[in-house]
Chain A
Amino acid sequence: MGHKNRHVGIIGIGQTTYSSHREDVNQPEMIQEAVALALKDSGLKIDDIECVVHGNMELFEMIHQPDIWHVLGDGGYGKDAYRITTGGTTGITLVAAADNLVASGMYDIVMAIGFEKLQEGHTTGGITNMADPLWGRSLQTGALTGATAKDMINEFGEDRARRAAMRHRITLDKHAKLNPNSHRSFGLEYDQVEDLMDNSPKLVGELRLIHMCSQSDGACAMIFASEKKAKELSKHPVWIRDHITVHREETFNLFGHDVPELTHHYAARKLFERNGIKVPREYFDVFEMYDPSSWWGLDWLREFLLLEGDEHLRMIENDDISINGSFPLNPSGGVISANPIGATAMVRVAEAAMQIRGDAGGHQIPREVKHALASGFGGTMWTVLFMLEKELGWEEID
Chain B
Amino acid sequence: MAKRVAICAVAQTKYESNMWHKRFQEMCFDVIEPIIQKTGVNWDEDNGIRNIVTCSDDIFDARTISDNAVTDAVGAHYRGEEKMAQDGINGIGYALSCILSGHDDVVLLVGHCKESQSESRNMITNLAFDPFFCRPIGLDYENTAALQARAYAAKAGITEEQLAKVVVNARKNASKNPYALAQELVTAEQVMNSPMLCDPIRELHSYPVSDGAVAFLLASEDRCLEYTDKPVWITGFGNNIDSYFLGDKVLTSNFAMKRAAARAYKMAAIKDPSKSLNVVEITDRYAYQLPLWAEGLGLCDENAGGRWIDEGGLEKMNVNLSGGMLAGNPLMIGGMSRAAEAVLQLRGEAEGRQVADAKRALAHGTTGPVGQHQAVLILEI
Q: Which A residues fall within an 8 A CB radius of B?
A: 1-5, 26, 52, 55, 57-60, 62-72, 76-87, 93, 96-97, 99-106, 126-130, 132-133, 243-250, 263, 266, 270, 378-380
Inter-chain CA distance A347–B94, complex, in Å, is 23
Bits for B232-249, please: 1 = Cβ < 8 Å to A, else 0.
000001111111110000
A-B contact pairs, 29 of them (CB 8 A): A2-B102, A5-B102, A26-B130, A58-B59, A58-B85, A60-B64, A63-B131, A64-B60, A65-B128, A67-B86, A68-B367, A68-B372, A69-B244, A70-B244, A71-B244, A72-B244, A79-B241, A82-B90, A86-B83, A93-B82, A100-B101, A104-B96, A106-B1, A127-B64, A133-B63, A245-B51, A249-B77, A266-B78, A378-B65
Closest chain B CB from A126 CB (angstroms)? 5
Residue from A58, A70, A80, A84 in contact with B239 in the complex, judged by beta carbons closer than 8 Å: A80
Closest chain A CB from B360 CB (angstroms)? 20
Closest chain A CB from B306 CB (angstroms)? 28
* Contact of A247 with B79 in the complex, beta carbons under 8 Å: yes
Inter-chain CA distance A67–B252, complex, in Å, is 21
Inter-chain CA distance A83–B69, complex, in Å, is 19
Say yes or no for B265: interface residue by CB 8 A criterion: no
Say yes or no for B124: interface residue by CB 8 A criterion: yes
9 closest Cβ contacts across the A-B interface?
A245-B80, A104-B100, A103-B101, A58-B58, A104-B97, A81-B241, A87-B65, A64-B128, A59-B64
On chain B, the residues within 8 Å of A379 by CB distance are: 65, 67-68, 71
Residue from B57, B82, B260 in contact with A96 in the complex, judged by beta carbons closer than 8 Å: B82
Closest to A81 in B: B241
CB contact under 8 A between A248 and B71, given known A96-B82, A130-B63:
yes
Closest to A242 in B: B103
* Contact of B85 with A250 in the complex, beta carbons under 8 Å: no
CB contact under 8 A between A64 and B63, given known A5-B101, A247-B80:
no
Inter-chain CA distance A52–B94, complex, in Å, is 13
Residues 335-366 of B at the A interface (beta carbon under 8 Å)? none
Inter-chain CA distance A52–B51, complex, in Å, is 22
On chain A, the residues within 8 Å of B238 by CB distance are: 80
Inter-chain CA distance A32–B276, complex, in Å, is 41
Say yes or no for B210: interface residue by CB 8 A criterion: no
Inter-chain CA distance A6–B285, complex, in Å, is 39
* Contact of A250 with B69 in the complex, beta carbons under 8 Å: yes
* Contact of A250 with B70 in the complex, beta carbons under 8 Å: yes
Say yes or no for B76: interface residue by CB 8 A criterion: yes
Closest to B67 in A: A86
CB contact under 8 A between A68 and B63, given known A82-B94, A249-B72:
no
Q: Which of B3, B81, B124 has the most CB of A within 10 A?
A: B81
Say yes or no for B369: interface residue by CB 8 A criterion: yes
CB contact under 8 A between A80 and B240, given known A58-B59, A245-B80:
yes
Closest chain A CB from B35 CB (angstroms)? 19
* Contact of A59 with B85 in the complex, beta carbons under 8 Å: no
* Contact of A4 with B82 in the complex, beta carbons under 8 Å: no
Closest chain A CB from B76 CB (angstroms)? 5
Inter-chain CA distance A126–B65, complex, in Å, is 10
On chain B, the residues within 8 Å of A79 by CB distance are: 240-241
* Contact of A26 with B241 in the complex, beta carbons under 8 Å: no
Closest to B372 in A: A68
Q: Which B residues fall within an 8 A CB radius of A?
A: 1, 3, 25, 45-46, 51, 57-60, 62-72, 76-86, 90, 93-94, 96-103, 105, 124-125, 127-132, 220, 222, 237-245, 255-256, 259-260, 263, 367-369, 372-373
**A-B contact sample (16 more), CB < 8 A, given A58-B58, A79-B240, A246-B79:** A1-B105, A5-B102, A26-B130, A57-B58, A57-B65, A68-B128, A68-B369, A77-B241, A81-B240, A84-B84, A84-B94, A103-B102, A103-B103, A104-B98, A130-B64, A247-B78
Closest chain A CB from B330 CB (angstroms)? 14
* Contact of B103 with A250 in the complex, beta carbons under 8 Å: no
Closest to B101 in A: A103
* Contact of B100 with A62 in the complex, beta carbons under 8 Å: no
On chain A, the residues within 8 Å of B105 by CB distance are: 1-2
* Contact of B369 with A245 in the complex, beta carbons under 8 Å: no
CB contact under 8 A between A104 and B82, given known A69-B129, A248-B77, A249-B72:
no
Inter-chain CA distance A106–B237, complex, in Å, is 9
Inter-chain CA distance A17–B105, complex, in Å, is 39
Closest chain B CB from A61 CB (angstroms)? 9
* Contact of A82 with B239 in the complex, beta carbons under 8 Å: yes
* Contact of B82 with A97 in the complex, beta carbons under 8 Å: yes
On chain B, the residues within 8 Å of A60 by CB distance are: 64
Inter-chain CA distance A380–B90, complex, in Å, is 26
* Contact of A104 with B1 in the complex, beta carbons under 8 Å: yes
Q: Which of A69, A76, A99 has the most CB of B within 10 A?
A: A69
Inter-chain CA distance A192–B14, complex, in Å, is 63
Closest chain A CB from B327 CB (angstroms)? 23
On chain A, the residues within 8 Å of B68 by CB distance are: 87, 130, 250, 379-380
Residue from B25, B86, B222 in contact with A65 in the complex, judged by beta carbons closer than 8 Å: B86
On chain B, the residues within 8 Å of A270 by CB distance are: 45
* Contact of B72 with A59 in the complex, beta carbons under 8 Å: no
Residue from A58, A68, A106 in contact with B244 in the complex, judged by beta carbons closer than 8 Å: A68
On chain B, the residues within 8 Å of A3 by CB distance are: 102
* Contact of A86 with B1 in the complex, beta carbons under 8 Å: no
Q: Which of B78, B125, B368 has the most CB of A within 10 A?
A: B78
Inter-chain CA distance A103–B1, complex, in Å, is 10
On chain A, the residues within 8 Å of B25 by CB distance are: 250
CB contact under 8 A between A71 and B372, given known A130-B63, A245-B51, A250-B68:
yes
Inter-chain CA distance A203–B371, complex, in Å, is 46
Q: Which of B69, B130, B222 has the most CB of A within 10 A?
A: B130
Inter-chain CA distance A46–B70, complex, in Å, is 36
On chain B, the residues within 8 Å of A93 by CB distance are: 82
Inter-chain CA distance A379–B79, complex, in Å, is 13
Inter-chain CA distance A263–B124, complex, in Å, is 34
Residue from A65, A86, A129 in contact with B81 in the complex, judged by beta carbons closer than 8 Å: A86
* Contact of A244 with B80 in the complex, beta carbons under 8 Å: yes
Inter-chain CA distance A52–B60, complex, in Å, is 24
On chain A, the residues within 8 Å of B102 by CB distance are: 2-5, 103
